[in-house]
């Protein structure tokens, strides 16, 4: 299995998985692609898993930056696991892995369905696997985190909190728990910290509202309490790190009708 690493970033599951036939090596579908021995024009025979921006390329030629050093030949059929590279009149993707089609792929190739839904399901599964607490319930209240009892003294002891357009504007949602699907929580209520900010950094995070019902995928997060004055009331002492539940990802909140789906995915 040939692999290619483009950076020192943490590995992410490649976005675009497809079966393709190599049409021409050392070629590209766009003039903007720097052609080399490691670029090829590949016909996408079957999209297996993809974001929306790749989903419609079945039956079309695209450019692939080949992984590793192993030679490929025109006519060869391979399964590609690839990430974005260049979008122009056509697209070029950078293969992280390319492998010959074998019997091991038969289940993957026969499963059918919508490739974008497959990707969403895989991402949700990874997200659930990573969660610390999954509950259903309703939001009893949304408040600004409480100030510490010795707020005035605490504030004086800390440097002023810098003001930035990227401020999270923390709020806390108190959830009355109906059912726990994953993790342990002894109380019938759980408090979740979320950013109310609509800044580019935070706008995708769920914005809780009182009365809201749903399934909540929660994550334990350590926050330094001098990050924001709104957090200082959550700490036992000024400057401490506090562990709280957060819901920062767009898929951290689901409607109750997803209950059976979520329950089945918990492992």
| Interface positions with other proteins (CB under 8 A) | 6-12, 14-16, 30, 32, 34, 51-54, 56, 65, 83-91, 93-94, 159-168, 170, 195, 198-201, 203-204, 223-224, 227-228, 231, 249
CB of 186 to other proteins, least distance (A): 26
Q: Which of 167, 148, 137 is nearest to 256 (CA)?
A: 137
Shortest distance, position 215 Cβ to other proteins, whole Å: 20
Q: How far is the CB of 120 from other proteins (least distance, A)?
A: 10
Cβ count within 10 A of residue 195:
23
Gyration radius of the chain's alpha carbons: 24
84: which strand partners?
93
Based on CB atoms, which residue is closest to other proteins, 74 or 198? 198
Show the tokens assigned to 152: 């005035």
Task: Tally Cβ neighbours within 10 Å of residue 221.
Answer: 14
Please report how close the Cβ of residue 102 comes to other proteins at its closest, in angstroms: 25
The residue (of 11 and 184) whose beta carbon lies closer to other proteins is 11
Q: Taking Cα atoms as reference points, which of 119, 121, 34, 37 lies closest to residue 82?
A: 119
Is the Cβ of residue 68 or residue 263 nearer to other proteins in the bound state? 68
**In terms of CB distance, is 137 or 171 closer to other proteins?**
171
Structure tokens at 3: 């692999």
């Amino acid at each position: 299995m040939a692999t290619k690493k483009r950076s020192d970033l943490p590995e992410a599951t490649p976005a675009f998985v497809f079966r393709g036939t190599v049409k021409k090596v050392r070629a590209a579908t766009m003039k903007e692609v720097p052609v080399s021995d490691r670029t090829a024009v590949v016909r996408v025979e079957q999209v297996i898993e993809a974001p929306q921006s790749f989903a419609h390329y079945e039956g079309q030629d695209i450019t692939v930056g080949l992984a590793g050093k192993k030679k490929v030949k025109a006519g060869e059929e391979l399964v590609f696991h690839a990430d974005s590279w260049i979008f122009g009149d056509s697209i070029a993707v950078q293969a992280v892995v390319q492998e010959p089609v074998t019997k091991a792929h038969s289940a993957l190739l026969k499963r059918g369905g919508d490739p974008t839904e497959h990707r969403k399901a895989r991402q949700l599964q990874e997200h659930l696997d990573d969660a610390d607490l999954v509950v259903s319930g309703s939001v009893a209240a949304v408040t600004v985190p409480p100030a510490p009892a010795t707020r005035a003294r605490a504030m004086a002891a800390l440097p002023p909190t810098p003001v930035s357009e990227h401020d999270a504007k923390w709020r806390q949602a108190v959830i009355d728990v109906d059912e726990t699907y994953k993790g342990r929580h002894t109380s019938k209520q759980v408090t979740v910290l979320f950013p109310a900010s609509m800044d580019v950094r935070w706008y995708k995070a769920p914005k809780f509202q009182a009365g809201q019902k749903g399934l909540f995928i929660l994550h334990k997060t350590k926050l330094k309490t001098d990050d924001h004055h709104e957090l200082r009331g959550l700490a036992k002492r000024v400057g401490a790190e506090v562990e709280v539940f957060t819901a920062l990802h767009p898929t951290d909140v689901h409607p109750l009708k997803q209950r059976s789906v979520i329950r089945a995915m918990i492992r």
